[in-house]
Structures are given as C-alpha cells and as structure tokens.
C-alpha cells in the first residue's frame, strides 16, 4: 500500500528534526571545545555531516544556531538539576547536591567550566538574544535552588528570617565563581571552597530547637 501524504510528511518532518538535532549536537560539542565565536559554520556542517543548504534550511544564521545550543544545554542542565533538587528539604539533601557537583568537576579536573556560565561569559556583552536566553536558564536554575530552600524553611529547618531567593542567588554566584576558578586551576579545590562558603551562608539560618 502506498504511503499517504500525511505519512510522507511525518517521515520528512522526522528526518528534518534528526538533521537539525545532529547540527545542534555537533555545534554544542565544538563550542565546548573552542567557544562559540571560534566555531565556524564550516566546522559544524563537517562535524554533523550536513551541507550548507541543509544548515540554512533549519537556521537563519549562526546566532540562531547559538540560541539552539543554549536551549540544548539549558534543557540538559535543568533536567539534571531538577532530578537532584526537586525533593531536597534538608541540609543532607543540599550536601548530596554539592557532592554531585564536586564529583563532576573533579572527574574533568575543572576543565570546561559551566556549560551555561561559559557561554554567558563569552556572549552576554555581544549577543543580546543569547544573553536573554542564558539569563532565563540561569534564573530557572536559581528557582530550583530557591524551591529547595523554601521547603527547608517551611519544615522548620531554616528560620523565618531566611530569604530562599537571596540565598539561592548567592549559591549560584558561588557555584559559577567556583567553576571559573576550578577551570583556571585545573583543580576542584576552588569549587569545594566556594560551595563550603555558600552552604555556611545557608547554615547561618539553621533553626535551633525552640527558636522560631
């Protein structure tokens, strides 16, 4: 039985989506190694096994590709962080989250830094669309941390004086600084110091027995 028009459309759409995903994945890997500015479209098409005509079928220009890479990285990071943080409501849960970060940084000896933070450092002053997308993903990441701290405040682990949003922003600042210093040192120790200080700022609001 011959294919229907809808079946052909679905097959072509699936093929196009696979091609687009291959281009974005290749760009993501190259930008991790070389940075966004140094990665050329010729390199992306060669690495993805696509032609320029295929590229321009999916992206208007390199800036559109960069935004797709940001979306890929943002989705990947937020999915991972949501898995770690969605049920955290105690200091032991926060400590497990810190250990997971340190394990990843240690495994690569500090190399590459944060997938989002590195792009933000490179692009935020040059590409407004990229800056807006990066800020949105980082804000979502902060919100996941704030949610964990809010649960700790609600269950009495943190005092009423604790400001989950401010504390979460401080943790993110420490985390991003830790990535930069660990990358420069090729050592996870700066990340350990940064996370210890961030956690100490949270522990300062630990609710003592009988204190409201």
pLDDT of 195 above 60:
yes
pLDDT at 106 over 90: yes
Q: What is the pLDDT of residues 150-192, one digit of tens each?
A: 999 999 999 999 999 999 999 999 999 999 999 999 999 999 9
Q: Does pLDDT of 212 surpass 60?
A: no
What does each C-alpha distance from 114 to 27, 66, 104, 121, 138 come to in angstroms?
16, 16, 11, 10, 11
Does residue 157 contact residue 206 with C-beta atoms inside 8 Å? yes
- 158 three-state secondary structure: strand
Contact (CB, 8 A) for 183 and 113: yes
* Per-residue confidence (pLDDT) for residue 10, from 0 to 100: 58
Q: Helix (H, G, I), strand (E, B), or coil: what is residue 1? A: coil
- Amino acid 13: pLDDT: 84
Q: What is the pLDDT of residue 160?
A: 95
Closest CA to 185 of 111, 118, 100: 111
State pLDDT tens for residues 19-64: 999 999 999 999 999 999 999 999 999 999 999 999 999 999 999 9
- Top-confidence residue, 158 or 210: 158
Q: Is the pTM of this model over 0.75?
A: yes
**Position 11 pLDDT exceeds 60:** no
What is the pLDDT at residue 129? 94
Predicted confidence (pLDDT) per residue in 116-136, tens digit: 999 999 999 999 999 999 999
């Amino acid at each position: 039985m011959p294919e229907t028009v809808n079946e052909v459309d679905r097959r072509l759409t699936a093929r196009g989506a696979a091609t687009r995903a291959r281009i974005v994945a290749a760009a993501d890997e190259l930008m991790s190694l070389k940075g966004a500015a140094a990665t050329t479209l010729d390199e992306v098409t060669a690495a993805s096994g696509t032609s320029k005509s295929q590229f321009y079928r999916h992206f208007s220009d390199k800036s559109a590709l960069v935004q797709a890479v940001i979306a890929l990285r943002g989705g990947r990071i937020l999915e991972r962080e949501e898995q770690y943080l969605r049920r955290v409501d105690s200091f032991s849960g926060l400590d497990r989250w810190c250990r997971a970060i340190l394990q990843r940084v240690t495994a690569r000896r500090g190399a590459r830094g944060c997938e989002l933070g590195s792009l933000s450092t490179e692009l935020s002053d040059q590409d407004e669309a990229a800056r807006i997308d990066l800020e949105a993903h980082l804000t979502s990441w902060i919100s996941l941390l704030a949610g964990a701290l809010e649960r700790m405040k609600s269950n009495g682990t943190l005092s009423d004086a604790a400001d989950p949003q401010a504390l979460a922003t401080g943790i993110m600042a420490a985390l991003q600084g830790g990535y930069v210093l660990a990358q420069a040192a090729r050592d996870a120790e700066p990340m350990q110091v940064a996370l210890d200080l961030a956690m100490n700022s949270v522990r300062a609001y630990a609710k003592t027995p009988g204190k409201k």
